[in-house]
Amino acid sequence: MKSIGRPPAFPYKGATLYADALPVHELAEIYGTPLYIYSLSALRERFRVFDQAFQKLPHTVCYAVKANANVHLLGDLAKLGAGFDIVSGGELERVRKASKPALARTVFSGVGKTADEMDAAMKADILMFNVEGEGELKLLAARAVANKVKTPIAMRVNPDVFARTHPYISTGLRDHKFGVSIKDAARLYAFAAEQKWLAPVGVSVHIGSQITDVQPFAAALKRVGQLVKELRASGRNIQYVDAGGGLGIGYKDADAVRIDFTKHAAEYARAITSALRGLDVHLLLEPGRALIAPCGVLLTRVLYVKQNGRKRFVIVDAGMNDLIRPALYSAHHGIIAAKKPKSGRTAIYDVVGPVCETGDFFARDRRLPEAEENDLLCILDTGAYGMSLSSNYNSRGRAAEVLVHGNAVMLARKRETIQDQMRNELR
């Protein structure tokens, strides 16, 4: 199999940056900025690489909808055989719109499921609920009785494994809000087995996000594998292990070169499958960022270049409402020019947006090609948690989204207007 690192979806041809076979400056002329651009060819290739890494074990790749919920992307993944990991009733409806058959390959995670969401998912006949607490388990049992729907479940167990990632996206320690203690699992599975309309058929785990070292996954799945053996010994018919997601990518240029996706996916697969060897389970996987993040960019136009004291600022038309990760996590995103300047000169800039917050930035003290007003800049690796975390802060409309495949382009989401924002406000 061809080895891939950063998807070759946004190459330079001469001094011009392309999205697949289309110059990005032409997309800006047609659709305006800020603009999210996604490469379908890159997404399809990364899905195939990830899926094939687990080919020796029965499995389903359940894409994490929260990473990027655009229904066109979901529909494209469904055609490749993907299932979905959802965390809300809204995401359930997005999967339904994208592909009704994919509902049968959908798992419902999340710590705050409501009765209405449970009812909707039961009626949609999803694959399984990942239950995150005793109170939720009891409510789910009651809703299954009310709906008279045999409801497959897995308990999300907390393996107390430390994942080296940002504390906001670490989820596998005992003091986190997610899951139940692995020590309480036997009791909760016994309760579930006593419920006429519940079917405890799986064990679920998820230790966090943006994890590039595969060893924490191996440690977590080793504990899950032992739990599966104990549950089966007590008569539980465990058929599924949901390994969650969390595989990270290289956001910095050096990491993007170092983290070759084909090799990384293979290492990840070995870490997980070795821990489950001999268990005869169907493995569920919930990648999000690992699939979609490098397949998307945020295209933004330079409004002004200014200097305050020793600081030089590039002020662009995208803001933290469009991409909040740098402000929220101090996350790094590569930034490149849509057209390389002929001079070849560079300068140190803070790249900032127009939002009325000092935290509205995309880069600080970053060396970039010398910028001028009306230049276009491309913020890399924004396919995940870009649009899905966007907002209307400062009454700014959300960006448009386009999908490219070769020399074809499709508008996947219109630019939001102020009329769109105020439509549901009553006066």
Where in the sequence numbering do the catalytic residues fall?
Answer: 356
Q: What is the dihedral of CA 120, 121, 126, 128, to 10 degrees?
A: -160
What tokens does 351 get? 């790249």
Q: What type of residue sits at position 168?
A: Y
How far apart, in whole angstroms, are the C-alpha atoms of residue 180 and residue 182? 6
Which of 183, 165, 163 lies closest to 173 in space, CA to CA?
A: 163
Strands 59-64, 83-86: pairing kind: parallel
Burial class (CB in 10 A: 0-12, 13-18, 19+), 43: buried
Q: What type of residue sits at position 387?
A: M
Count Cα neighbours of 4 within 13 Å in the Cβ-side half-sphere: 22
The total number of residues shown for the chain amounts to 427
Burial class (CB in 10 A: 0-12, 13-18, 19+), 23: middle
**Core vs surface per residue 304-319: b (16+ CB within 10 A) or e:** ebeeeeeebbbbbbbb
Dihedral of alpha carbons 69, 71, 73, 75, sign:
positive
What tokens does 37 get? 């651009």
